[in-house]
Chain A
Amino acid sequence: MARRAWYWLLALPFIALLDVPLYDRIDPRWNGIPFFYWYQLAWVVLTAVLLGIVYLATRERAR
């Protein structure tokens, strides 16, 4: 995959978090926490993972 193509992965957090109606709901809960809250917290972790992947992928290309 070309180096630039990896960057498109970073569009995912924007779509997932800025489309508010997508996650503005109570159910399903997780440990009693409404979906609205745990979904966004899960995206914090997912964004970090995506950034890690893109970092590793694009760094190897650079060498």
Chain B
Amino acid sequence: MSLTASVFVALVLVASALGFTAARRKGGDLRALDEWALGGRRFGTILSWFLLGGDLYTAYTFIALPALVYGVGALGFFAVPYATIAYPIVFLLLARFWSIAHERGYMTAGDFVRGRYRSRSLELAIAATGVLAALPYIALQIVGMKAVLAQLGGIFAIGGGAMPLAVAFTLLAAYTYIGGLRAPATIAVFKDILIYLTIAAAIVVIPHALGGWRAIFTAADRALASPLHPFPLLVAPQMQFAYATLALGSAFSLFLYPHAITSLLSARSADVVRRNAALLPLYSILLGIIALLGFAALAAGIHAPPNEIVPILFARFFPPWFAGLADATIVIGALVPASIMALGAANLFLRNVVSPLSGRTPSRDAKSTKWLTLAFCALSLVLVLFVNVKFAIYFQLLGGAWVLQTAPAIFFGLGERSLPARALLAGWLAGMIAATSFALVDGFSPNIALHVGSWTLVGFIAIYAVAINLGVALVATALLRVRSPQSEIA
């Protein structure tokens, strides 16, 4: 095994070992759902910071973002304003969500909707949307891992990396099963130290080797410029609205995903949430630097599938042992969020999809959630290995547009007065249909075959669909009030 591969394997094993030890640290009965799925809601500022950072800034982000910039230039940088304006939203809205959830013992967005609106159909709608959006997201973490395995080559790349992926996912499923949310929280600390090391090295080594940022931008400009898009370092005027709506739509949907809500609710207090809103932007700076690596790859003359440019940059500019460390960073960066996503989706599915359908109250016992988490891990692996990566990418694009359709019910529900449940349900349905048809009409065209292209449309579709959602919800509210002026006002 090469030095790169040895360092890589060693670090991934250390991370897994940390995952297994997590269950034994800090007492608490892991048979109780609250302890297993939310770490007993005891995480302080620092652990929450690592956990949320590890959860939101995923391997797929670190692979797909430079790939997007490499492919389309400035438009791909929308992730930076997105990951910036998300935090005032966390500070103002999600800290309040934490307080309400804590006071009433809610564990999911579905719990919140049931408690706030007393409507099991709205609860079911919101929860099913979250689960559907989470599954392809887990699958895309595997896509990120595949890119690294392809670059490592040898036994790692046989059959699209099926064997190492299966090993990694078995480890992931096992430590999540045993330790619950504490496992990814512990690994996240290790992962984030590796990420900061990797990015610090990348920002020093790569621009230096390529003759500085000015040379990188000049070379990238030349490589990307085309008659259709003569100024690739800027957003074309007709795309400026798309850029803004992509950022806005993504920022509002970020914390509606079940994995984000899981990490958020594991915080010890609303103050921890607010403090993290001010501290998490540190990761967004990393995100911006990583995005610029897409330009570095263009300047370095790399011609490869966009998803593979980051591991190729590591292999070219880092010494072998450090390339192994950087590759391990990406794979561990996939394992942390995949674990939280499977756990969050399983919890949401059992509490707010199965329970309203079966009419039984959700269990306080962690057992069935643990088994379902394993099943979701397996399902995602099957999706990527045996179905088609493109399918996972399309599905995730649609998931991003769908999850924003839950925003009106959640965010209006934070206030003293909201819209009636039936109006919100009608709006949700209209938004879901709109988002799906926009994607079908616009999305599955050749230029979206690159997942790079599909990202471009996520925010766009989602914002238009949520506008329809809101419009329908408001009209329905007005109609309900005309029909029965006294009742139905939530």
Contacts and interface: CB of A to CB of B under 8 A. Distances in A.
A37 B81 CA distance: 10
Nearest to A51: B278
Given A17-B247, A31-B213, A36-B234, A45 B285 contact: yes
Contacts of A40: 77, 80-81, 84, 288
Residue among B85, B88, B279, B292 with max Cβ neighbours from chain A (10 Å): B88
Contacts of A10: 88, 91-92
A26 B87 CA distance: 27
B275 interface: yes
Contacts of B281: 44-45, 47-48, 51
B274 interface: yes
A18 B250 CA distance: 13
Interface in B72-121: 74, 77, 80-81, 83-85, 87-88, 91-92
Contacts, number: 105
A55 B275 contact: yes
A3 interface: no
B91 A55 contact: yes
Interface residues of B, number: 39
Nearest to B231: A26
Interface in A4-63: 7, 10, 13-14, 17-21, 24-26, 29, 31-34, 36-37, 40-41, 43-45, 47-48, 50-52, 54-55, 59
Contact of A13 (B84, B233, B244, B274): B84
A33 to B, nearest CB: 5
B243 interface: yes
Contacts of B80: 40-41, 44
Given A29-B214, A32-B214, A36-B234, A51 B91 contact: yes
B295 to A, nearest CB: 9
Contacts of B74: 24, 36
Contact of A14 (B85, B213, B216): B85
Given A18-B248, A48-B281, A24 B88 contact: no
B288 A44 contact: yes
A44 B66 CA distance: 18
Contact of A17 (B85, B233, B237, B275): B85
Contacts of B85: 13-14, 17-18, 47
A14 B288 contact: no
Contacts of A36: 74, 77, 233-235
B398 to A, nearest CB: 24
B243 A52 contact: no
Given A20-B243, A43-B81, A34 B217 contact: yes
A61 B284 CA distance: 29
A41 B88 CA distance: 16
B282 interface: yes
B301 interface: no
B212 interface: yes
B215 interface: yes
Given A37-B288, A44-B80, A51-B278, A14 B88 contact: yes
A33 B221 CA distance: 12
A17 B84 contact: yes
Contacts of A32: 212-217
Interface of B: 74, 77, 80-81, 83-85, 87-88, 91-92, 212-217, 233-235, 237, 240-241, 243-244, 247-248, 271, 274-275, 277-279, 281-282, 284-285, 288, 292
24 contacts: A10-B91, A13-B85, A17-B244, A17-B247, A18-B81, A18-B244, A24-B234, A25-B234, A26-B234, A31-B212, A32-B212, A32-B213, A32-B215, A33-B217, A36-B74, A36-B233, A40-B288, A44-B80, A44-B83, A44-B281, A44-B288, A48-B278, A51-B87, A51-B274
